[in-house]
Structure 1
């Protein structure tokens, strides 16, 4: 049993120094690295999980995928393995507290600005994971780590990726009523065994925001059955009912985040965080928040492997030291699916600030209505973007793009999966043919009050080796511009169930 591991024991080469936390799934130790002069957080799962070969394979696969994440708001994974029939995972360690400890520390209300800072940091980390195809599945205050440094803003990390799906998909654990995520933050579709995607994390982050603002869980009930029923049937509670000092606009934000139907939630965790911040900026004007019209459902889509890989790392920031403070049942991995467009409540200035894109600002200046004003905001229909090189690998915003600058974006899957914007740095027009090597389904000249050019669309498929399910039908659309302010740029867009689906659902409202 894991409980037999004590300080001083050597396990998987690590020397265990002390217990950081423990729970039903296992124990987290502070451990000395076998060769390097550092200490890591070593999570050792209970022995009951290690004897199943399917669990082992899934756990190792998920840990490897999590290790590919490199984001300042996501825990860093070093290694994983099996020792004495026990699964283990090694992560970076930092001596901080988690948000659950913060909520329960002294009984006083958490300042709203700190709550928003925590949710915003967690949202950035979750969105980065979602772009990489990873679903957390157990977002809650206890899985949000906080690190303080003198003279610096508090750092926020989302932790415990890489285990929940490995366990949830095992036949040993998929029994009726098995719920791995903490009930207080579980989305309705998790509770009924439905299809789960990144919008379950949006729901859980909404529950977390509610708790940070009110010091109470959204559905406090005396039994697990009552909590489950409330998630499935009861209307989301209003934060202002628990804390009248909050602006009334925040009620609409949490209500949308905790909508029963995933299609009615925010398109991303970042959109939720942006809306929460804006609710406080708006001074409580609830009329500024507009609920979206219902959008038709569509089947799950799979992202283009090359572009998704490019979106794993956020820009301008460095890697961070992360820790596990207590045992927490972690995450899952799933492809994204459709979400409705976010109705922004942010009182933005008319002029965007493309200078935050550094050496890639000229791309944003050419297409300001399409691309986000900075790497941490959302663009048209929730696009989340990063600068990339010719191999679609993420680069720093200040890195010289060379002859061609590129920005790669992850869409909301309704219908856009990915967008690649390529622009000549010297502003010379792009004259190359569209859809080279493909047969166009449609090809026409276009003209609008904002410009003119050419658009063509063709059938394509996801990459055959896509781990989330390759060789799936998908549309490809390319756009060329004639007007000098953007004729040095070209758009390549993937998404939809087919070429015509992508064209019909995206092109008519495209912002140019």
Structure 2
């Protein structure tokens, strides 16, 4: 077995390949059926020999973590000198594709929910001494799209056990930065100590990465830029200025400010000043965010200098006010939007809040 798998291939005497599903910088991902349990699983296999060195460690480390917000590792096998990692299958896509695929940023309610669940998954890993070291949007899997029916941290390929020293030269990939064959992580989410002293990083490096991701989701801006130019900014630990729209609207300001402040607390230059994952979970649990279902609709019309209007949805027209729209620009007829609907009773149309303009 030397090339990509084909539908119908049987691995380990039990995993039947259904179809190609996706790929990352270093691995192919297939959907398969476990013929023993009849469970659908994700079957991952490295693209090259260098990536193969990650897989056994990934299986050993990830198998220690058992939590609803972490993709569960089910099995590991070697067949015809090729390695395979079996994980639970998540019906959805990674955070970058599923949530940022149609918007440049998320409203504070969605950000708070993502923050809370990611923190729970990271805390579960830290409880068993696992440092992920490569947290980024493509390593967060989302089910249910903007309704977030599932959120799971995945891909522990460059993870380590707290206190372990591993061969950094054999870790990483196209989406993972290696500086002098030592620093491991993904810009723009890498902690300063992951650049300066990667062999001794602790769980606090993961906390930095979580904060950097949430800052990005909240603002549409990578906190320290992208590429190698971000390194000096990361080492200085001074994130980018907030776009005015993030906290300008009084409807969103309280929660947006809390989410941003919490994200910034994760990006303190001194790791000891950052919250622990458990503290982060508790703080996120105190955020007042809604879990209302989201719908997609089209702006039907706007009136009174774009101060209010109606959204056409599959379930009828929904009223919106400009103050309920999160973002810098107003809405126009024909714009596609994401919104939550709230019934107000009587003959009045339901109200939309929050409303987020879709870019695609």
- Alignment TM class, shorter chain as reference: 0.5 to 0.7
CA contact (8 A) 2:218 2:260 kept: no
Provide the TM-score with structure 1 as the length reference: 0.47
**CA 1:244–1:89 in 2, change beyond 3 Å: closer, same or farther?**
same
- Distance in 2 of aligned mates of 1:279 and 1:79: 37
Provide the TM-score with structure 2 as the length reference: 0.66
After TM superposition, list the pairs within 5 Å mapping 1:40-439 onto structure 2. 40-49=41-50, 55=53, 59-60=55-56, 62-107=58-103, 109-148=105-144, 154-161=149-156, 163-165=158-160, 169-170=166-167, 172-173=169-170, 176-194=180-198, 195-221=200-226, 224-239=227-242, 241=244, 243-245=246-248, 246-247=253-254, 248-266=257-275, 268-275=276-283, 278=286
Segments of structure 2 that go 5 or more residues without pairing to the other structure are: 172-177, 290-360
**How far apart are residue 62 of structure 1 and its match?**
4.7
**CA 1:258–1:7 in 2, change beyond 3 Å: closer, same or farther?**
same
CA contact (8 A) 1:49 1:86 kept: no
Deviation string, structure 1 residues 333-373 (Cα, Å, up to 9, x no partner): xxxxxxxxxxxxxxxxxxxxxxxxxxxxxxxxxxxxxxxxx
CA contact (8 A) 1:77 1:92 kept: yes
| Secondary structure of residue in 1 paired with 2:247 | coil
**CA 1:4–1:159 in 2, change beyond 3 Å: closer, same or farther?**
closer
Deviation string, structure 1 residues 125-166 (Cα, Å, up to 9, x no partner): 1111101011111112222222239xx973322112355449
Q: Which residue of 1 aligns with 2:8?
A: 8
- Distance in 2 of aligned mates of 1:109 and 1:66: 30
CA contact (8 A) 1:116 1:277 kept: no
| Secondary structure of residue in 2 paired with 1:127 | helix
| Secondary structure of residue in 2 paired with 1:30 | strand
**CA 1:68–1:23 in 2, change beyond 3 Å: closer, same or farther?**
closer
- Distance in 2 of aligned mates of 1:215 and 1:171: 31
- Distance in 1 of aligned mates of 2:51 and 2:97: 30
**CA 1:164–1:5 in 2, change beyond 3 Å: closer, same or farther?**
farther
Deviation string, structure 1 residues 285-342 (Cα, Å, up to 9, x no partner): xxxxxxxxxxxxxxxxxxxxxxxxxxxxxxxxxxxxxxxxxxxxxxxxxxxxxxxxxx
Structure label with greater radius of gyration: 1
**How far apart are residue 32 of structure 1 and its match?**
2.1
Deviation string, structure 1 residues 200-240 (Cα, Å, up to 9, x no partner): 1100000111122112321224xx22022221125123445
**How far apart are residue 44 of structure 1 and its match?**
0.5
The CA RMSD over aligned residues, in Å, is 3.2
- Distance in 1 of aligned mates of 2:218 and 2:94: 16
**CA 1:109–1:68 in 2, change beyond 3 Å: closer, same or farther?**
closer
- Distance in 1 of aligned mates of 2:285 and 2:245: 19
Segments of structure 1 that go 5 or more residues without pairing to the other structure are: 282-512
CA contact (8 A) 2:58 2:155 kept: no
CA contact (8 A) 1:139 1:204 kept: yes
Q: Give the strand-richer structure, 1 or 2.
A: 2
- Distance in 1 of aligned mates of 2:233 and 2:168: 28
| Secondary structure of residue in 2 paired with 1:216 | coil
